[in-house]
Amino acid sequence: MILKRNSPFLIPAIVLGIYMIYSLGPIFWLVLSSLKSRQDLFTLPPKLFFTPDLSGYEAVFGIGAAKDSAAAIGLVQSLYNSIIVSIAGTALATILGTLAGYACSRFRFVGRDDFMFFALSTRMIPPTAVLVFYHVMFAKMGLSDTVSGLIIVTTFINLGLATWIMKGFFDGVPTAVESIAKVNGYSRFYAFRKFVLPMVRGGIAATAGFCFIFAWNEFAFSSILSTTKAKTLPVRLSSAMGSTGIEWTQICAAGVVLIVPVAIFFYLIRRHILMGMTFGVLGKAGH
């Protein structure tokens, strides 16, 4: 649709345009910068056309010329950490959240509603408020600066949300599905595995997508619980910025690498995002 000059939507359209520049501008700048060489990066006015320089990406992925440089090794290690922590944390949170969500949807137990509230509240707590406690606890358990430690934290961070979303999807599956199986001589577990789980496939995918994005972006806990070896990519990036001799190209390339999976997952679960915002009624609206 082309907006006429005197359309009542003209001003909102302009505002939206500005908002898009505001939100997409930095990403555009980031992508451009990640492809520039050191010299091109700091020319004024900024160059829009230049010969792409892939050295930043080579450093992040640890390939090509940057393979052996110390900075590159740090980046590769942190990318690797991020991938492991996010995938393992997402898998654990999704599996446990699916089971817990099913229990909360189907079983009446003492304190169920309190549990549901508690589960969600774990996501609302400002991480900085409890960081010190985690720091001490992890140090005592020998989990400081380990990937397994970060996996545990990531799982717990996402478990509450995963439980909530999955409960919503299970609420959307009629209890008759299990009742029918039971009166026909099958166990509840059989019905869960054979009938209920396939019905909430989409929900599981959406939950995993949410969890992955949160795990991938997680900064507060990782920054305090990983000091050297276990640093994730966001942590590594932020610490690089404080030091001298900043490799801007590498940082920008790492930034792009951080954004891409989020963009992909967000696109994949976009159907569920709006529904996800109204926790609990998710499943009913879903199918």
Partner 1 sequence: MARVEIRDLRVHFGDVIAVDGVNLDVEDGEFVVFLGPSGCGKTTTLRCVAGLESPTSGEILFDGKTVTQLDSMNRNVAMVFQFISLYPHLTVRQNIAFPLKARRLPKAVIEEKIQWVSRIFDLAEILDLRPGRLPPGARQKAALARSVVRDPNVLLLDEPLSAIDEQFREEMRWELRHLQKELGVTSIYVTHDQREAMSLADRIVLMNEGKIVQVGAPAELFNDPTNQFSGFFIGSPAMNFVRARRKGEKAALAEGAATIALPDNVMQLMGDQEVLLGIRPQHVATIDREAEFGCVRTTPSQVNSVGREHWFDFQLGDTTIKGMSQSRVAQGTGEIIARLDVEHLHVFDLKGERLRGEDRS
Cα 207 to Cα 163: distance, rounded to the nearest angstrom:
9
- Backbone region of residue 64 per phi and psi (left: phi > 0; alpha: psi in -120 to 50; beta: other values): left
At its nearest, how many Å lie between partner 1 and the CB of residue 167? 19
At its nearest, how many Å lie between partner 1 and the CB of residue 124? 28
Tell which residue, 217, 209, 223, 237, has the closest CA to residue 30: 237
If the CB atoms of residues 75 and 191 are measured against partner 1, the closer one turns out to be 191
At its nearest, how many Å lie between partner 1 and the CB of residue 163? 22
At its nearest, how many Å lie between partner 1 and the CB of residue 182? 4
Residue 160: CB atoms within 10 A of its CB come to 23
The first and second tokens of residue 155, run together, are: 């799982």
41 contacts 249 by C-beta, under 8 angstroms: yes
If the CB atoms of residues 177 and 205 are measured against partner 1, the closer one turns out to be 177
The residues near 138 (Cβ < 8 Å, ≥ 6 apart) are 144, 149, 225
Determine if the peptide bond prior to 234 is cis (ω within 30°): no
At its nearest, how many Å lie between partner 1 and the CB of residue 179? 5
If the CB atoms of residues 176 and 241 are measured against partner 1, the closer one turns out to be 176
Cα 144 to Cα 225: distance, rounded to the nearest angstrom:
5
Cα 88 to Cα 265: distance, rounded to the nearest angstrom:
16
If the CB atoms of residues 32 and 177 are measured against partner 1, the closer one turns out to be 177
If the CB atoms of residues 135 and 188 are measured against partner 1, the closer one turns out to be 188
What does the binding site for partner 1 look like in residue numbers (CB under 8 A)? 174, 176-177, 179-187, 195
